Amino acid sequence: MSEEYSVSVALDVATAEEMRRLGLRLGGLLRAGDLLVLTGDLGAGKTTLTQGIGSGLNVRGPITSPTFVIARVHPALAGGPALVHADAYRLGGFAELDDLDLDAETPESVTVVEWGEGLAEGLADARLEVIISRGHGPGETRKVKINGVGERWAGLATELS
């Protein structure tokens, strides 16, 4: 990938509750038009992170994995942006992602695409790419790397510390 990141933040996340809290913190930073592309193995915590983001955005829930419905829209409960939560796992490529018309939703919503690496980056010039790696052994602490692409995310390290 030839794009330059504005910032990269690496965090250790020990529990599902910590993953939700990270999502809550991220949700407080997000605004309409923001795109997050989540990458990680099955069970890494992508949906758990999105649950926290939904709490931070104050959207209608519950937030569950959209694997079988491909995409869900969670309307805002109090004047903020809606959350569009998509899962690209079963999609055959960019053409199928394009058929979802997520780019039409992006300007008014916060869009989170699980399994979107290599597919969803074109939905917005600025985005957060979140890579979650499962730990090995007792406790399975996750490593979360958040890459902010574009000027929009230049202050991310400060905002997350």
Residue pLDDT, tens place only, 79-128: 899 999 988 755 555 555 555 555 556 578 899 998 777 766 777 788 99
More confident site: 71 or 102? 71
CATH number for the domain whose boundaries are 5-160: 3.40.50.300
Structure tokens at 150: 């574009």
With a cut of 70, say whether residue 160 has pLDDT above it: yes
What pLDDT shows up at residue 1?
A: 40
The pTM assigned to this predicted structure is: 0.86
Instruction: Name the strand (E) or helix (H) holding 59.
Output: none
User: If you count them, how many residues does the chain have?
Assistant: 161
Contact 159, 151 (CB under 8 A): no
Mean pLDDT of 31-54: 94
Question: How far apart are alpha carbons 142 and 33 in whole angstroms?
Answer: 28
